[in-house]
């Protein structure tokens, strides 16, 4: 995943954890409102083989909200979703 590496100068948020997977990585985000997000770009993520991202919202209890999983997102779309989640 190139979320924090190639696009560092464009990145609005900094992940608290980066987990490396086959063909990419997962970045974990946590916001002051208690919510968070998981952003993935690897061979097993939705759109990862095409260089796109998958995003899932994480509630304040630390659980991924199944209905929130979105795939095949561009970097700009991920940034917009992260901004939205941070403002809940």
d(Cα 37, Cα 88) in Å, to the nearest integer?
A: 12
Helices (H), 31-87: 75-86
Range of the domain at 64: 8-86
- State pTM to two decimals: 0.85
Give the pair of three-digit tokens for residue 38.
């998981």
Please name the residues in contact with 17: beta carbons below 8 A apart, sequence gap of 6 or more: 27, 28
Q: Which pLDDT does position 13 carry in this prediction? A: 86
Q: Which pLDDT does position 11 carry in this prediction? A: 58
Does 53 map to a domain? Answer: yes
The single-letter DSSP state of residue 74 is: -
57 forms beta bridges with 37
Please tell me the total count of domains within the chain.
1
Q: Which pLDDT does position 7 carry in this prediction? A: 46
Give the pair of three-digit tokens for residue 63.
């659980």
Which positions of the chain have pLDDT values less than 50? 1-9
Does 1 map to a domain? Answer: no
């Amino acid at each position: 995943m190139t979320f924090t590496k190639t696009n560092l100068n464009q990145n609005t948020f900094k992940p608290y954890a980066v987990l490396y997977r086959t063909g990419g990585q997962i970045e974990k985000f946590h916001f002051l409102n208690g919510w968070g997000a998981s952003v993935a770009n690897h061979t097993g993520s939705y759109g990862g083989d095409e260089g796109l991202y998958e995003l899932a919202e994480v509630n304040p209890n630390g659980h991924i909200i199944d209905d929130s999983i979105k795939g095949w997102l561009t970097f700009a779309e991920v940034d917009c979703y992260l901004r939205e989640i941070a403002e809940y």
